[in-house]
């Protein structure tokens, strides 16, 4: 199995009607935990890192690590560059062997977003890589540095955008937001259903941390195929470490790193079971 494009993973999910988790990683232990979860559950996996995270986890180090881990996995794994903002970093990810990139032009006006996304599609096609793009604006921000106001995706704009850019997956905003939800998210299923009827490409839900299992399943029934999860993994790891330190401070470094791997693994498995992607590979 090993390294595959995100398109291959999403096409299969579309055929069989399940969702696939795209889990953000920041270091080797998180990569190991995610791969271990996917292999144990026989689930496809999308490993991703966002451009805004690169100050903590540099791309020239994380990229080869993610690609090698995917190549050696016994289940299909796509390596995805999340929320690419600049052509320079997107190209660097492609040069490192990422099999998928997201261009996030959601803050541009429609025509400009289409134009810039088309440039990325042309670039990515020369690598045989998958392209995800966004229309409407998911609230919050990937690393919490700015609080972007949510703008629910307009259905006819989504249809035009998907047709004109020929992207492989479309991220939409239906009441979802990055980071911790202040109040329980109220997803706009009416809008999701409309978009799903008008857009042929698989749909992507960002801001997966804190959405109820029943809502995840309903999203998957209506065309969401890729679900991004970051905050829930970071939160689970920190909680485990804090609990352990409070009980008995670590005596050796490797007990600590083993706990990072294990808590990432548990969070990834938890989500894969909800998304229905286990026992697929």
Which span (61-69, 230-238, 246-254, 263-271) binds ligand 13P, by CB under 6 A?
A: 230-238
How many beta carbons lie within 10 A of that of residue 38, not counting itself? 31
Among 12, 231, 236, 277, binds ligand 13P (CB under 6 A): 231
Among 7, 53, 80, 83, binds ligand 13P (CB under 6 A): 83
Q: Is 82 a catalytic residue?
A: yes
Print burial letters for 240-253: b (CB count within 10 Å at least 16), e (below 16): beeeeeeeeeeeee
**Residue with Cβ nearer ligand 13P (97 or 179):** 179
**Residue with Cβ nearer ligand 13P (231 or 236):** 231
209 binds ligand 13P (CB under 6 A): yes
22 among annotated binding-site residues: no
- Contact (CB, 8 A) for 137 and 174: no
Nearest to 106 by CA among 149, 77, 51: 149
How many beta carbons lie within 10 A of that of residue 26, not counting itself? 19
**Residue with Cβ nearer ligand 13P (37 or 229):** 229
As a whole number of angstroms, the distance between CA 190 and CA 193 comes to 5
Nearest to 281 by CA among 58, 49, 18: 18
178 among annotated binding-site residues: yes
**Residue with Cβ nearer ligand 13P (155 or 231):** 231
Alpha helix locations (H) across the chain?
6-16, 28-41, 59-71, 87-95, 110-125, 155-165, 189-198, 213-221, 231-247, 253-275
201 binds ligand 13P (CB under 6 A): no
179 among annotated binding-site residues: yes
83 among annotated binding-site residues: yes
Give the x-and-dash track for 125-154 against ligand 13P (CB under 6 A): -----------------x------------
- Contact (CB, 8 A) for 224 and 250: no
Which span (183-191, 224-232, 241-249, 271-279) binds ligand 13P, by CB under 6 A?
A: 224-232
Report, as residue numbers or ranges, the catalytic residues: 82
Site residues, ligand 13P (CB under 6 A)? 24, 50, 82-83, 142, 178-179, 206-209, 228-232
Binding residues for dihydroxyacetone phosphate are 179, 207-209, 228-231
């Amino acid at each position: 199995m090993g390294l595959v494009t995100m398109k291959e993973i999403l096409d299969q999910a579309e055929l069989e009607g399940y969702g696939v988790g795209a889990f953000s990683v920041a270091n080797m232990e998180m990569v190991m935990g995610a791969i271990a979860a996917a292999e144990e559950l026989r689930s496809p996996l999308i490993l991703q890192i966002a451009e805004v995270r690169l100050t903590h986890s540099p791309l020239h180090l994380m990229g080869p690590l993610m690609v090698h881990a995917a190549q050696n996995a016994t289940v299909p794994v796509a390596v995805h560059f999340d929320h690419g903002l600049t052509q320079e970093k997107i190209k660097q990810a492609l040069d490192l062997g990422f099999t998928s990139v997201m261009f996030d032009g959601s803050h541009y006006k429609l025509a400009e977003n289409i134009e810039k996304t088309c440039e990325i599609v042309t670039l990515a096609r020369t690598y045989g890589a998958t392209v995800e793009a966004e229309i409407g604006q998911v609230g919050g921000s990937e690393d919490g540095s700015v609080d972007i106001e949510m703008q629910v995706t307009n259905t006819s704009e989504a249809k035009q955008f998907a047709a004109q850019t020929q992207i492989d997956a479309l991220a939409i905003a239906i009441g979802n937001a990055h980071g911790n939800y202040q109040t329980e998210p109220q997803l706009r299923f009416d809008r999701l259903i409309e978009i799903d009827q008008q857009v042929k490409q698989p749909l992507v839900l960002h801001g997966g941390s804190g959405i109820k299992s029943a809502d995840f399943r309903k999203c998957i029934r209506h065309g969401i195929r890729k679900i991004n999860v970051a905050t829930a993994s970071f939160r689970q790891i920190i909680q485990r470490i804090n609990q352990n330190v409070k009980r008995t401070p670590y005596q050796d470094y490797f007990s600590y790193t083993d706990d990072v791997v294990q808590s990432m693994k548990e969070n990834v498995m938890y989500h894969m079971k909800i998304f229905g992607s286990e026992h697929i590979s």
